[in-house]
Homo-oligomer: A and B are copies of this chain.
């Protein structure tokens, strides 16, 4: 997860992913829109590759990159956990309940042995 989110934390790399959503691209093609050396772009691509966000297919001289969506889904799923905090007004209520619950948790400094809710 660290590497996935890290890979996504750079505009250059996000742009490259976006480009790859339109189809395969060579390293040079991916690098073209960015104002940096090819070597620098190559490093970015390697970061994406190590995060599993792209797959590389070497055809003769050119390295063809493909989007690999599975890790994106994992990241997306991870964020979905927080969906209730931004979606409907119903969930605002839900959120308030959670906060109230936390308040109760805090109010009792002495643990009550007669209750265990999880697991």
A residues adjacent to B (C-beta < 8 A): 1-6, 8-11, 14, 17-18, 21-25, 67, 69-70, 72-73, 75-76, 78-83, 85-86, 98-99, 101-103, 105
- Given known pairs A2-B9, A11-B1, A79-B75, the reply for A24 and B99 (CB within 8 Å) is yes
- Given known pairs A76-B76, A98-B22, A103-B23, the reply for A67 and B86 (CB within 8 Å) is no
Q: Cα distance A1–B105 when bound, in Å?
A: 34
Kindly list chain B residues whose C-beta atoms are within 8 Å of the C-beta of A99.
Answer: 23-24
Kindly list chain B residues whose C-beta atoms are within 8 Å of the C-beta of A10.
Answer: 2
Kindly list chain B residues whose C-beta atoms are within 8 Å of the C-beta of A86.
Answer: 69-70, 72-73
Q: Assess whether A69 is in contact with B82, with CB atoms less than 8 Å apart.
A: yes
Q: Assess whether A69 is in contact with B98, with CB atoms less than 8 Å apart.
A: no
Task: Choose one: B23, B78, B83; the contact of A105 (CB below 8 Å).
Answer: B23
